[in-house]
A and B are shown apart, each in its own frame.
Chain A
């Protein structure tokens, strides 16, 4: 059913919190995502010419790099982009078959590839570019929030988190229930002023991005021989060499 589930107050909203301050842009999350998901819920993921000149395939996670700000205050921001598991996902409501759906119990947006007709309309309805079409199987695919890991009782409890979160070497990715204001991820968002992407479009994304911290480490001023002080010989050498 592509009508959205009725919102229940206090319902679980599983999602990711991505720290743009500590993301180092290593692409490990994207690689581990591809690795897990090519054997997971949506397996296999197309992977054409992977070592050739024109590699092409479906990835659920893409890592951009941007320069934010101008001049001396500008900075590099690495920006992982994946499905935000929106509360108002138009990708779900436009689906003519019911293949695209949002789970009432945890808010995860999924595709049933057994009934997807491959019309691609859902990818047009997503402003975040999160859905990618599998040309080999003729169906749409997307991030599942590693539904086959987070509920997987065959895995040790500590590993029941999305592959991207598990692999992040700088702990820039956090997974949890954003519907619960007391959850660690909700507290992190509150503390760091986490933001939603393109809120003006009204999709109400669940995932949050923590903006880079503005504070920089103050550098000590460079040492310069001040005029009128220090060794007279050095002052003379400085004067001669400065000509």
Chain B
């Protein structure tokens, strides 16, 4: 599948945004955030800014962005519609959570409850995003049991590094969160390796013989193409660059997304320039997850291209 930058931005940025929201919401619900009156509202605004940037980017790839409001209507059947509904539903409780923290204080039951609600809705949005891909039967690299847990794990990881950076910038040190980010990075790396193992062992979904109904004749080979130039199907689904450089690109992706941030988080946990190391970890993780998401698309093969022998 051809990676469209708008969709890559959508999935990575909303992962950071809703991941951060989940962390602050849950930590606030359990009274684990420092009671600084401004810290939480700022964190919520940063989280919603990331999510909003991702959602806006996704509008850019639409043929008719002005009709985007129609996408809220088919939540009964469509995961894309559910993602739209869930992402917007998250905003009011998240803003109310920040406002109540500011007015009623961190310990009010309403503040804690709204924190938990905002966190849950944020994670539900991430699940909906993942399910858009996981539900597509023609793409075996997406339609498998790894896709949805992976999206959740990557969102929790990206939220952890982002919160560690905000915390370190605000309070000067963030040992516990740096450790959390380190653990999340290692879990995320393991999840990614497990995913690659899984897709590398998969067999193609169909053969050209079953795609053409010619199984009784044995093997089927393409002879003449229907057209000699690329068409929409081949441009959109016949992407072949990643398959050529798969090993190198995978190393770059896990290195940037998880291992470099893990080392930086370790330095922060040891108290070495936490503000700088956690900020750097966030930036590297952002770039790395963007590469990881690019690969998630670029490595995905679509059944329809089998008709073209690809």
Partners in one complex: yes
Binding site for B on A (CB under 8 A): 1-4, 20, 25, 27, 30, 54-56, 58-59, 62-70, 73-77, 79, 81, 90, 92-99, 115-121, 123-129, 132-135, 137-140, 195-203, 209, 211-212, 214
B190 at the interface (CB under 8 A from A): no
Q: How far is the CB of B158 from chain A (nearest CB, A)?
A: 24
Q: Return the 4 tightest CB-CB contacts between A and B, nearest first.
A: A118-B63, A138-B63, A129-B304, A96-B81
Q: Is the CB of B68 within 8 A of A117?
A: yes
Q: How far is the CB of A133 from chain B (nearest CB, A)?
A: 5
The answer to whether A117 and B63 touch (CB under 8 A), given A132-B231, A133-B232, is yes
Q: How far is the CB of A203 from chain B (nearest CB, A)?
A: 8
Closest to A97 in B: B70
Assembly CA distance A23 to B236 (angstroms) = 29
B121-157 interface (Cβ within 8 A of A): 132, 135-139
Report 14 cross-chain contacts, Cβ distance below 8 Å, ordered by A residue.
A62-B307, A65-B224, A76-B223, A81-B307, A96-B73, A97-B67, A117-B64, A124-B237, A128-B304, A197-B212, A198-B205, A198-B211, A201-B206, A201-B303
Partner of A119, one of B61, B211, B230, B237: B61
Q: Is the CB of A95 within 8 A of B74?
A: yes
Assembly CA distance A81 to B135 (angstroms) = 24
B218 at the interface (CB under 8 A from A): yes
B7-55 interface (Cβ within 8 A of A): none
The answer to whether A67 and B223 touch (CB under 8 A), given A81-B307, A115-B70, is yes
Chain A interface SS verdict (over half):
loop
B79 at the interface (CB under 8 A from A): yes
Q: Is the CB of A64 within 8 A of B307?
A: yes
Among B76, B209, B229, B233, which residue has the most Cβ atoms of chain A within 10 A?
B233
Q: Is the CB of B229 within 8 A of A54?
A: yes
Assembly CA distance A67 to B309 (angstroms) = 12
Partner of A75, one of B70, B80, B217: B217
Q: Is the CB of A129 within 8 A of B233?
A: yes
List the B side residues contacting A55 at CB < 8 Å.
Answer: 227, 229
List the B side residues contacting A1 at CB < 8 Å.
Answer: 74
List the B side residues contacting A98 at CB < 8 Å.
Answer: 70, 73-74
Closest to A92 in B: B77
The answer to whether A66 and B80 touch (CB under 8 A), given A1-B74, A97-B70, A132-B233, is no
Q: Is the CB of B221 within 8 A of A67?
A: yes
Assembly CA distance A97 to B132 (angstroms) = 14
Extra inter-chain contacts (16) besides given A55-B229, A121-B132, CB under 8 Å:
A3-B77, A62-B227, A64-B307, A64-B308, A65-B223, A68-B214, A68-B217, A69-B218, A74-B217, A96-B70, A98-B70, A125-B137, A127-B205, A127-B303, A140-B63, A209-B212
